[in-house]
Amino acid sequence: MLTIRLRRTGARHAPSYRLVVSESTLTPRGSFVDNLGTYDPATDPASVRIDLARADDWMRKGAQPSATVRSLLGKVRRRGA
């Protein structure tokens, strides 16, 4: 099953994340199918850039977002409305 989850990037004590579509059985540091956007919690306010059309397309195909990604998607949708 495919999962939409965060993949940590950045330096020690300065994390940033990519939202990726990957196989749920692989580690988050493993290979991924698609890169959907970025999340940087270190900025004020936190910077979130997500391609909602592609995220929705992957969810229609059966990809399940993690709890954190589901929260981020909701925030981006509310911000855009």
Per-residue pLDDT at 81 = 56
Per-residue pLDDT at 37 = 96
CA proximity to 39, closest of 61, 12, 70: 70
For the chain (81 residues), the mean pLDDT of every run of 10, in chain order, is 93 94 84 93 92 96 96 90 56
- Sorted by where each starts, the structural domains of the chain and their CATH numbers stand as 2-80 (3.30.1320.10)
What are the helix (H) ranges across the chain?
52-60, 67-80
